Chains A and B, each alone.
Chain A
């Protein structure tokens, strides 16, 4: 194991509870249990997830989906970040950047050039963060995108071209 303070590791069906905890603590949107179990149901090679550790504590989580089919509905072809979250007190320590780096690597490994992410319109912090990482707004605001949320239901689509 490396000696760095920040490390990433895979998510397993045994510790997906930790993943879920981080997502549900940080994000306004509440995801159902089924959503987290999905990636262990088999046949979901298009989902990749990681946990980010600070010391030995899991504090960050990322999950992204590869959308490669031509008839993917509203979503464009590329890699779509479903969740990227870091516990509030552990931010600005490079954990989010590493998680994003992981997604970018996956993107390259699957010969994709675009990373997409949806961010609630009122989530200034995240919008700024993504923009600082080279994301740009794409298209119109999606009205009533989120259903089970305590924040704004509308989302912006951000895109980063690799």
Chain B
């Protein structure tokens, strides 16, 4: 679907008699604009403006034409002029309409709506504007105005089903369910007997949609629910979505407490798709057996005999059998046939059990599989042998017995070195033991077995990025991307919105940033050598490391910013669907998309990028705070050598320049990327605001009480100096995790630190925060706040659990000065001993600086 540039018929308002010449010319220019001949239109507009430089409509049209030819800055200035003129001398409907289109192109939807509206208010007779308005109000979630415009448009064009459907949806969004159903019914009556075969699908969707509305309106009212059932019966022959139809029927029966009828429907559903776990669960509920293990077992035995090839009736009993002997027997008859057939996913199939109760289930599974493993020969039954090794490796990996996991995967690889799954698993084991580079090389060995396997290709890329081998990763990923006109696939991956790659790359760049910064710090604090040659090397090294640090930091932020742009794009992309889905007649899918659209900024990938960016922006902020006290020596100096005019230094400067150019080419994210290295991001003087505008603002707007991240919220407000909001985040956190939670203790210490030592925050704010804290945690020894010698870490065993590793890390990265930083560091290292190697090295390398 192409994005419209606003090609819609601007009514020319009858004949040209009684118009100024300018207006006539403008209408010509508009026609040219609509024919997408922007340059010609621009020319004509210019001739009008030559005579009358204040002609509003022409100013606006010039802006729009400039926008469409890519001259966005000039466009903005003309639009600005037009708007100022309108403010002083009033507007014409055409001018307003043009401005509306411009604003919509600029994605300033509420302003666009405003202009479209004033076009109508100023007497435009172009009814199409209502549809555009409706689209914009949908995008802005302004339901009241949406309904208004949908209604007006519908009144004008009743001959289209789309308009009826959209009106019904608008009613529903305003909570007017009965009206919604009425609209749909009225159309059905009008269309009765007139629908052709090509409309059958749309009809089916609309019928089901009406049933949705009726069902929603019914609530728990039995009479209304029976009416829903009746409606279902009426539409049965016209509905194609049999699953939806049956599911609804069962749901109504459940609500009516006609459980036997419901169970019959669920059995029908299971018959249609015996692999859907959901139907089995619902069947149990409708039969009322979900708490009776004996009956349940009998039920599943029966179902298994009906559907011998289906997975759920075999698996579900494993989740509730209490008796160990019986369980072992059932588990064995579940696992062993799969191993014998060589099912790669055997372990993943039983992983839900491990998650429930790892000690019980893993012990029994281990016994069964080891016994089986001893009974088979690698030569006679090679396939079961290798997949059993694979299973055992995953089993021990889950239990974090890395040594044993390693042994089994090596056995498997020695046995069948041509199975790509084995390399992936071995790489995973290596990753967990902290050997990231070895893991990457291992998975790359597997990748070489089959170069056209995209799955292993992307996995390999991910492992290379985890090992900070960015160049290698880009090289491998570029095998599958379009690389025309680019040095590698990075640009294409941006175009394709490949979040997985961009995020991983951002994180790799972030780690490289930390590493280089540490090296730079070491080099700077090293003694300046005596002889001139080493002095030069020393200086060069500092210069190189400074460049690299800034480059990696900038790239990390730039990549994260791209993720935030992708999600903005997801939000904007909805715009087209507000009318498209109506025309296609898919109201149910539309509404699902529409509700989803309200949550794009709370989706996992966005949150991951947000948290990554938060770490980086917080570091930048904290460094700036510190350098307020000291001098900031991290700014990048241009590579100017001490001895100017020196031939050698000139040559060096040229080499550096060349290298920067080279870097820019390989990392460019977009065509005509103006800041490929992300220098603007890393040099920002307002990291917290940047973080808010790229991520946190959108996230906060959409996050609900339960999806909000209160630790992040706390850390953000702590740095903003908004201590009262910090206490707010703490109390929300305490509601979820309890008042003894270790992290809450860490937050308390961070807050007290700021309240005691911060010079930036005024006394009133501090007092309010302390009061709030007192109310939240009355047991705290707050009277010690004015004492110098109190050991604040002692509040942990007394008031809170822990401190846990995460709590200590929170304290560490918040530079809490009422505690000894060295002591915290020691405690973190102590705590790390309990963690697996991968976490140890990640914390040591990237969080303890």
Contact = CB atoms under 8 A, between A and B. Distances in A.
The answer to whether A and B belong to the same complex is: yes
Interface of A: 13-15, 17-18, 21-22, 25, 54-55, 57-59, 87-92
Contact of A22 (B383, B385, B418, B450): B418
Interface in B425-481: 448-452
B438 to A, nearest CB: 18
Most buried by A among B416, B418, B448, B451: B418
A10 B451 CA distance: 15
Contacts of B418: 18, 21-22, 57-59, 87
Contacts of B379: 88-89, 91-92
Contact of A89 (B342, B378, B448, B450): B378
B451 A15 contact: yes
Given A89-B378, A89-B416, A54 B450 contact: no
Given A15-B449, A15-B450, A54-B383, A21 B378 contact: no
10 contacts: A15-B452, A17-B451, A21-B418, A22-B418, A25-B417, A59-B418, A87-B415, A89-B415, A91-B379, A92-B379
Nearest to B382: A89
Which 3 pairs of residues, A with B, have the shortest CB-CB distance?
Answer: A17-B448, A14-B452, A14-B451
A15 B419 CA distance: 12
A142 to B, nearest CB: 30
Interface of A is mostly: mixed
Interface in B364-417: 378-379, 382-383, 385, 415-417
Contacts of B382: 54, 59, 89-90
Contacts of B448: 17
A30 to B, nearest CB: 15
A15 B418 CA distance: 10
A98 to B, nearest CB: 16
A13 B448 CA distance: 11
A55 B450 contact: no
A59 B379 CA distance: 13
Most buried by B among A17, A58, A89: A89
Contacts of A21: 417-418, 449
B55 to A, nearest CB: 64
Nearest to B420: A18
Contacts of B449: 15, 17-18, 21
Most buried by B among A17, A25, A91: A17
Contacts of B417: 21-22, 25, 87
A63 to B, nearest CB: 16
Contacts of A88: 379
Given A21-B449, A87-B415, 10 more contacts: A15-B450, A15-B452, A17-B448, A17-B449, A17-B450, A18-B449, A21-B417, A58-B418, A87-B417, A90-B382
Contacts of A90: 382, 416
Contacts of A57: 383, 416, 418-419
Interface in B204-248: none
Interface residues of B, number: 16
Contacts of A59: 382, 416, 418
Contacts of A22: 417-418
Interface of B is mostly: loop
A89 B385 contact: yes
Nearest to A24: B417
B379 to A, nearest CB: 5
Contacts of B451: 13-15, 17
A52 to B, nearest CB: 11
B161 to A, nearest CB: 48
B383 A55 contact: yes
B426 to A, nearest CB: 14
A14 B416 contact: no
A71 B383 CA distance: 47
B21 to A, nearest CB: 68
A64 B452 CA distance: 25
B129 to A, nearest CB: 56
Interface string B647-667: 000000000000000000000
Contacts of B385: 89
Contacts of A92: 379
Contacts of A25: 417
Nearest to B451: A14
A59 B450 CA distance: 14
Interface in B505-551: none
Nearest to A15: B450
B99 to A, nearest CB: 55
Contacts of A17: 448-451
Contacts of B383: 54-55, 57
A31 to B, nearest CB: 15
A15 B581 CA distance: 44
Nearest to A22: B418
A57 B416 CA distance: 8
Interface in B56-94: none
B450 A18 contact: yes
A87 B416 contact: yes
A90 B416 CA distance: 9
A54 B451 CA distance: 21
Interface string B333-353: 000000000100000000000
Contacts of B378: 89
B697 to A, nearest CB: 46
A104 to B, nearest CB: 25
B416 A55 contact: no
A13 B449 CA distance: 10
B450 to A, nearest CB: 5
A89 B417 CA distance: 11
Nearest to B446: A17
A18 B450 CA distance: 7
A18 B449 CA distance: 4
Contacts of A89: 378-379, 382, 385, 415-416
A89 B449 CA distance: 19
A29 B284 CA distance: 63
Contacts of A18: 418, 449-450
B799 to A, nearest CB: 59
Nearest to A25: B417
A17 B450 CA distance: 6
Most buried by A among B342, B378, B450: B450
Contacts of B419: 57
A22 B383 CA distance: 17
B569 to A, nearest CB: 34
A17 B378 CA distance: 24
B485 to A, nearest CB: 25
A13 B417 CA distance: 19
A89 B384 CA distance: 12
Nearest to B342: A55
A51 to B, nearest CB: 9
Contacts of B416: 57, 59, 87, 89-90
Most buried by A among B342, B449, B451, B452: B449
B613 to A, nearest CB: 38
A154 B342 CA distance: 41
Nearest to B383: A55
A25 B413 CA distance: 11
B572 to A, nearest CB: 39
Contacts of B450: 14-15, 17-18
A91 B417 CA distance: 15
A55 B385 CA distance: 14
A71 to B, nearest CB: 37
